[in-house]
Copies of this chain bind each other. A is one copy, B any other.
């Protein structure tokens, strides 16, 4: 009967989207050396042509292609060498006249008059300044035209691109030394529970070490978020409320990780209802595992509240599917990468709910990692997970699934 109150993941996402214009990330400008891994906030256009001049892609001789006719091994064509292009120096006064050629190194500017470059391997200098060329050339051969790589005004990189090493190189090539990027979400993570002890402590009877604050904090940092603080608080409504109020001052996202018992779940809902002026948006989602997921929004402080399930693997998957995917959508980033793999054994799903299934990848095969609720080792053994839809009754061995990669 609880199912009547829960949202589908899609509904939960829509509610976030409708309420959360306030947490649309701002933008800032950073230099190239800090830009790797950041997400572009605007399209970047080139202000220049690349290359700015016609460039040779070989060590060779710049020629007029029609001078070579049908030159070949047997009947070389003879040209007069009238100059040499040197990298890093101005060669704009050089030109190639009829029956002449000019030496050009790889990357050098092809002089006016020439329309092709013949590789040195096909050229034999003789006499003072003569060259025997044993190959014909077609117009444009071995020459990159002005703007052929990137044209002036053309788009270099699109909004939402997470800048990879090669993108930084492309920006450098185009002379773009600062880029507009999104300001990452600032996140506070609060673990609640009288039973929680920190990792350095030996749990006494009825106690357990806090896992979720470590997992969610590391996952947040990996996404580029700024982790403001990570707290562990006792099950004390006043104390937790106080932490939530503090977090509202400096965080865009407040993650509360409680337990998975009904009492814990109810308390998280009460706390979010109290802290968020728009109240609770979603009270449970139709997902397995992951049902005890709660969201709320405070418009005054522009803070999104999340209550995550207590089970570590569930908390991580829900965090990715609901909140990281929302962040990526807002910033125009491509969704989380999936790879196709064939499942090695029949895998049941929970009817009426999306089912998250952990898997281990071996080549293009995905082996289900079955985890009893709350176990932590399967999360570490898994390479990722796939999702079965509400309408699926499960999946048969040999069928193909889209695996979200954990890297």
Chain A contact residues, CB within 8 Å of chain B: 32, 36-37, 48, 50-53, 55, 57-59, 85-92, 105-109, 120, 144, 148-150, 156-157, 164-177, 193-196, 199-212, 214-219, 221-222, 235, 259-264, 310, 312-313, 316, 337, 339-340, 363-364, 372-377, 379-380, 382, 405-407
A50 partner residues in chain B, CB cutoff 8 A: 376-377
Rounded to whole Å, the gap between the CB of A209 and the closest CB of chain B is: 5
User: A144, B375: Cβ atoms under 8 Å?
Assistant: yes
Q: Choose among A177, A193, A199 the residue with the greatest number of B CB atoms under 10 Å from its CB.
A: A199
Rounded to whole Å, the gap between the CB of A56 and the closest CB of chain B is: 9
- Closest residue of chain B to A36 (Cβ to Cβ) is B218
User: A36, B222: Cβ atoms under 8 Å?
Assistant: yes
Rounded to whole Å, the gap between the CB of A360 and the closest CB of chain B is: 12
User: A36, B221: Cβ atoms under 8 Å?
Assistant: yes
- State A235–B105 Cα separation when bound (angstroms): 15
User: A157, B380: Cβ atoms under 8 Å?
Assistant: yes
- State A157–B379 Cα separation when bound (angstroms): 12
Indicate which residue in B51, B53, B107, B120 contacts A260 across the interface (CB closer than 8 Å): B107
A88 partner residues in chain B, CB cutoff 8 A: 193-196, 206-207, 235
- State A87–B205 Cα separation when bound (angstroms): 9
What are 17 sample pairs from A and B whose C-beta atoms fall under 8 A apart? A36-B221, A48-B202, A55-B374, A57-B372, A86-B206, A87-B195, A91-B206, A105-B259, A105-B261, A144-B374, A164-B380, A172-B199, A174-B209, A175-B209, A177-B199, A337-B405, A407-B407
User: A195, B107: Cβ atoms under 8 Å?
Assistant: yes
Chain copies in the assembled complex: 2
A51 partner residues in chain B, CB cutoff 8 A: 208
A202 partner residues in chain B, CB cutoff 8 A: 48, 175
Given A109-B205, A120-B262, A173-B209, 16 extra CB contacts under 8 A:
A55-B374, A87-B194, A89-B205, A105-B259, A105-B263, A106-B259, A106-B374, A107-B261, A164-B407, A165-B316, A166-B316, A169-B214, A169-B316, A171-B199, A339-B340, A340-B363
- State A386–B406 Cα separation when bound (angstroms): 22
User: B379, A170: Cβ atoms under 8 Å?
Assistant: yes
CB contact under 8 A between A85 and B206, given known A165-B215, A168-B214, A377-B150: yes
- State A171–B376 Cα separation when bound (angstroms): 10
User: B106, A261: Cβ atoms under 8 Å?
Assistant: yes
User: A87, B215: Cβ atoms under 8 Å?
Assistant: no
Indicate which residue in B176, B337, B406 contacts A166 across the interface (CB closer than 8 Å): B406
Rounded to whole Å, the gap between the CB of A83 and the closest CB of chain B is: 13
User: B169, A376: Cβ atoms under 8 Å?
Assistant: yes
A170 partner residues in chain B, CB cutoff 8 A: 211, 376-377, 379-380
A52 partner residues in chain B, CB cutoff 8 A: 203
